Amino acid sequence: MKRGDYLKPLDWFTSAGYLFLYLPICILIAFSFNTSRFSVVWERFTWEWYGRLIRDPLVLDALKNSVIVAIVAMILSTIIGTLTAYGLYRYRFRGKSVFDGILFLPIVTPEIVVGISLVIFFVMIKYNLGLTTIIIAHVAFDIPFVMLIVRARLQGMDRTLEEASMDLGADEWTTFFKVTIPQLLPGIIAAALLAFTLSFDDFVITFFVAGVGATTLPLKIYSMVRLGVSPKINALSALIVLFSISLITVADRLQRMRV
Amino acid sequence: MEFTVELNRVTKKFGDVVAADNVSLQIGRGEFFSLLGPSGCGKTTTLRLIAGFEEPTEGEIFINNENVRDKRPYERDVNTVFQSYALFPHLTVAGNIAFGLERKKTPRHEMGRLIEEALDLVRLKGMGDRYPRQLSGGQQQRVALARALVLKPEVLLLDEPLGALDLKLRKEMQLELKSLQEKVGITFIYVTHDQEEALTMSDRIAVMERGRLEQVGTPEEIYEFPKTRFVADFIGVSNFFSGQVIRAEGETLLVRTDGNLDVTLPLDHGFTEGQRVQFSIRPEKFSVGPQGKGRDGENELVGEIANRIYLGGSIHYVIALSAEEKVTVFLKNERTAGQQPSFSVGERVTVSWHRDDSVILGD
């Protein structure tokens, strides 16, 4: 019996797994080009829904908010996360292992819990909910992801490079910017792209901390869906999927780049 | 003598581990100084203390007569060639060499010239645009050297710089490094575990073991007059004996070994009758023949050839002098047409050596 035959059932399961993951998304994309408004029956191909989408001022407004939130959250979380990861890597201090351990906690905490806790926090300090609170919340949940990626990169870095830099006359700051950062750069960019994507796509936490008036794209989709799923939503979702997948692909490539 | 680097009772502890134990050293200007020892003996730690990557637990370090206690690595006039080379992978060869010059705020036009000179010095002309990963191990090693030398430091620290190279390239680079050092005239402090390398290149060698300095001296002193059993054993091959002093007599010390052999050693006033003594003899100090040379002060013992290893240019014998005591003897191959002064296993021979070739060892 050939090895290939032996593996046949496994092949089948793998294909089924991927089908299960991607079929709904493919159907969603396909129906974003369908002329029929309500039914899920295919009629004719059209770009109409995309045209309507880009002429909808409310959608464009939500998109603008989403981009602002995602960019600001990306920049802040990347800076804070990178520096924190470097601090944990570089310095020995009491309770370091505890800090290392609880790094994952925010990642496994249910989003709804994070959302509720943040909204309670903002109400407690009497901070008005809006774009700022969304950004703060996004920075908070982006940081652990940034740290994880940067930390992986740090562990692959040759520590003597920093010593060599200091040996050649560079002080700590110069060493950090001229040697450490260039070594970490692929990891930092990957982390930034992931942070952007996570922030751009987030619904649950944003839902809690958005307040009135500050609507991001996922929130807008949700409110549109409540009036019924239209091909316009399909079109919008298709665009978001495409955008997210390309960002993640780039991030993945960068992360694999060798030091 | 003028010292560039001076260590005064320097101790470095990592937790309970004592990596450097009360090390005092004085290294002269322009000297090629080696720190030699097995791995874990503290030689690299000593180097890192001088570079400023580690701080001494106790003791003081002086570079150019200046106490460097509070000086960070970038404030010290020393540069290091790392075992792993530690070239910056994101910079070209020229970029790597320029790194230190940029920190010194060297003017642009001068920098280009200095980089060219440095590349020329290590025979890498025209390689400035390459990236480190595009170079062979030997070439990377040279870049690391050029990067440090271009700064014209008072002292160059080298941490097993040839460790990653294959044997042939190693031998080449040893000679090249030595002549380079003579050319630029700066102090080299060279860490190695390879005794042959240390003997070949150094003006002076410090042998280290378990954080302590065992002996400091010229290659010849270290080889001919090892002070401790460790040094005699680590450098080259030695035959060890121990025994008891019978009496001092004129210029000699009469000793009976544990194997009941009576031998003479050079007089050492530290020893009195009945005291234990340990000594070693290098394998090439013996002569073997039907009879000794009959020189004054010659020891003569009869033994049996137990083993013979033919190495072409030389022949190594193991000769049993008593039930417990065997010596290793290296003889030059003196075979010429019609003559074959060689011995075979089982043959009884006279082994002789001069008493001054025995070296009394401390602990």
Residues B185-194 as b/e (b if ≥16 CB within 10 A, e otherwise) read ebbbbbbbbb
pLDDT band at B166; cut points 50, 70, 90: confident
Per DSSP (E only), the strands in chain A are none
CA torsion sign for A7, A8, A10, A15 is positive
- Whether A157 and chain B come into contact, CB under 8 Å, resolves to no
pLDDT at A1 over 60: no
Q: Which residues of B touch A182 (CB under 8 A)?
A: 88, 90
pLDDT for residue B7? 95
Neighbours of B244 (CB within 10 A): 14
Residue of A nearest to B150 (CA): A168
Q: Are B356 and B297 in contact (CB under 8 A)?
A: yes
Q: Cα(A115)–Cα(A208) distance, rounded to whole angstroms?
A: 6
C-alpha closest to that of B177 among B139, B136, B122 = B122
pLDDT for residue A2? 53
The number of C-alpha atoms within 13 Å of B40 and in the hemisphere containing its C-beta is 2
Q: Which residues of A touch B89 (CB under 8 A)?
A: 183, 259
- Whether A213 and chain B come into contact, CB under 8 Å, resolves to no
pLDDT for residue A202? 94
The minimum CA-CA distance between B103 and chain A, rounded to whole Å, is: 6
Q: Looking at residues A56-73, what average pLDDT do you find?
A: 93
Out of B88, B104, B148, closest to residue A179 by CB: B88
The minimum CA-CA distance between A24 and chain B, rounded to whole Å, is: 44
Q: Cα(A109)–Cα(A130) distance, rounded to whole angstroms?
A: 23
pLDDT for residue A150? 94
C-alpha closest to that of A83 among A154, A1, A6, A5 = A154
Instruction: Look at B84 and A163 and tell me if their CB atoms are within 8 Å.
Output: no
Q: Are B84 and B126 in contact (CB under 8 A)?
A: no
C-alpha closest to that of A137 among A149, A151, A127 = A127
Q: Are B208 and B41 in contact (CB under 8 A)?
A: yes
The fraction of chain A above a pLDDT of 70, given in percent, is 96
- Whether B150 and chain A come into contact, CB under 8 Å, resolves to no
C-alpha closest to that of A56 among A213, A217, A243 = A217
Q: Cα(B357)–Cα(B232) distance, rounded to whole angstroms?
A: 13
Q: Would you give the DSSP letter of residue A179?
A: I
Q: Looking at residues B208-214, what average pLDDT do you find?
A: 94
pLDDT for residue A149? 93
| Beta strands at B287-289 and B348-354: parallel, antiparallel or unpaired | antiparallel
CA torsion sign for B162, B168, B171, B175 is negative
pLDDT at B294 over 70: no
Q: Would you give the DSSP letter of residue B345?
A: T
Bigger pLDDT: A104 vs B86: B86
- Whether A163 and chain B come into contact, CB under 8 Å, resolves to yes
pLDDT for residue B142? 92
Q: Are B330 and B318 in contact (CB under 8 A)?
A: no
Which of the residues A90, A162, A168 would you substitute to probe the B interface, choosing the one with the greatest number of B C-beta atoms within 10 Å? A168
Q: What is the pLDDT of residues A87-127, one digit of tens each?
A: 998 888 888 888 888 887 888 899 999 999 999 999 999 99
CA quadruple B244, B249, B253, B255: dihedral, nearest 10: -30
The number of C-alpha atoms within 13 Å of B241 and in the hemisphere containing its C-beta is 28
Neighbours of B76 (CB within 10 A): 23
The structure tokens 């980089």 sit at B115
Q: Cα(B101)–Cα(B89) distance, rounded to whole angstroms?
A: 18
Bigger pLDDT: A104 vs B176: B176
Instruction: Look at A160 and B84 and tell me if their CB atoms are within 8 Å.
Output: yes
Residue of A nearest to B53 (CA): A163
pLDDT at A259 over 60: no
C-alpha closest to that of B86 among A100, A175, A77, A224 = A175
The tokens for A14 are 């793998």
Question: Per DSSP, what are the bridge partners of residue A34?
Answer: A45
The tokens for A252 are 């993945």
C-alpha closest to that of A183 among B96, B141, B91, B85 = B91
The number of C-alpha atoms within 13 Å of A6 and in the hemisphere containing its C-beta is 3
- Whether A167 and chain B come into contact, CB under 8 Å, resolves to yes
- Whether B88 and chain A come into contact, CB under 8 Å, resolves to yes
Q: Which residues of B touch A179 (CB under 8 A)?
A: 88
Q: What is the pLDDT of residues B33-52, one digit of tens each?
A: 999 999 989 999 999 999 99
pTM of the model: 0.82
pLDDT at B242 over 60: yes
Domains of chain A, CATH where assigned: 50-256 (1.10.3720.10)
pLDDT for residue A211? 82
pLDDT at A168 over 80: yes
Q: What is the pLDDT of residues B106-135, one digit of tens each?
A: 998 899 999 999 999 888 999 999 999 999
- Whether B51 and chain A come into contact, CB under 8 Å, resolves to yes
- Interface size, chain A vs chain B, as Cβ–Cβ contacts under 8 Å: 59
Instruction: Look at A164 and B53 and tell me if their CB atoms are within 8 Å.
Output: no
The structure tokens 């791995």 sit at B39
Q: Cα(A26)–Cα(A152) distance, rounded to whole angstroms?
A: 33
Q: Looking at residues B246-273, what average pLDDT do you find?
A: 85
Bigger pLDDT: A9 vs B316: B316
pLDDT for residue A161? 95
Instruction: Look at B73 and A167 and tell me if their CB atoms are within 8 Å.
Output: yes
pLDDT for residue B293? 59
pLDDT for residue B220? 95
Q: Looking at residues A162-179, what average pLDDT do you find?
A: 95
pLDDT for residue B326? 92
C-alpha closest to that of B117 among B37, B55, B208, B184 = B184
Q: What is the pLDDT of residues A189-235, one digit of tens each?
A: 999 999 999 999 999 999 999 988 789 999 998 998 888 778 888 89
The minimum CA-CA distance between B234 and chain A, rounded to whole Å, is: 30
Q: Looking at residues B217-237, what average pLDDT do you find?
A: 94
Q: Cα(B24)–Cα(B213) distance, rounded to whole angstroms?
A: 8
Which CA distances in Å does A239 have to A37, A200, A230, A234, B345? 19, 12, 15, 9, 89
pLDDT for residue A174? 95
